Amino acid sequence: MSVTDPIDAGRLGLLLNDLRLPAIKVMWADFAARADTEGWPAARFLAALAEHEIAERARRRFERHLEEARLPPGKTLATFDFDAVPMISKAQVMALAAGDSWIEKGANLVLFGPPGGGKSHLGAALGLALVEHGWRVLFTRTTDLVQKLQIARRELALEAAIAKLDKYHLLILDDLAYVSKDQAETSVLFELIGARYERRSMLITANQPFGEWGKVFPDPAMTLAAVDRIVHHATIFEMNVESYRRRSALDRHRGPGRPPTRATINSLD
């Protein structure tokens, strides 16, 4: 079973290159030696090599997807303080983290709440969990993405830029409310929302509820249309809790204890 002739071994390496099986190329000799020692049948030897290649491909794919997601470090579901938002169902969050069926349907998730309330942490943590489940995710500050889309529009490439974002099953738009009330900025954001409607999912974090989005979109009709597209298939978490950062500072000052917090949830089909 083993390939002991250096000419045969060299030829096998070239063949594995042509077949694009880099993991097998690296490990086949070790597997062959073990197979010889333990008397594996040929089928077991081949299965072991194939399983190793598949596992390595999955690992490399995860690393690529994690790098392209641009998630802030350290934001995981394990480090998210669910006790601070007691009205949010951890079970519901875990179902969303598994991808469930909402990503396939192009549904959205909206997280409302004041600054420091954990919206970005929860959004990034969900993004990481989805990457671990094989989905492609992009985390971006809304203002940064809007600026890139504005540049694309000036270069007459807005449609192509938005289409390029289609490769991401989930687009996490952090801090939407910080987009300035400017026709050029909000129009490209509106086109992005429209392009992904019922096709690709978005997770949006915002400090202000929908009723205040007139401060983002200068035209009332555009505001209503944007909100309508977002909420048509959406789960909404209202995280009206005290700022994590402010609470941590107070806790350090006064010792143990936590003030009561509140959060509400809405789900729209």
Cβ neighbours for 161, distance < 8 A, ≥ 6 positions apart: 148, 149, 152
Task: Give the pLDDT score at 1.
Answer: 42
Tens of pLDDT, residues 54-105? 999 989 999 999 999 999 999 999 999 999 888 788 999 999 999 778 999 9
Q: What is the DSSP letter of 166?
A: G
Q: What is the pTM of this model?
A: 0.78
Q: Inform me whether the pLDDT recorded for 263 exceeds 50.
A: no
| Burial degree of 139 (CB within 10 A; 0-12, 13-18, 19+) | buried
Domains of the chain: 6-67 (no CATH), 70-268 (3.40.50.300)
Rounded-to-integer distance, Cα 234 and Cα 32, Å = 53
Helices (H) and strands (E) in the chain, counts: 11, 6
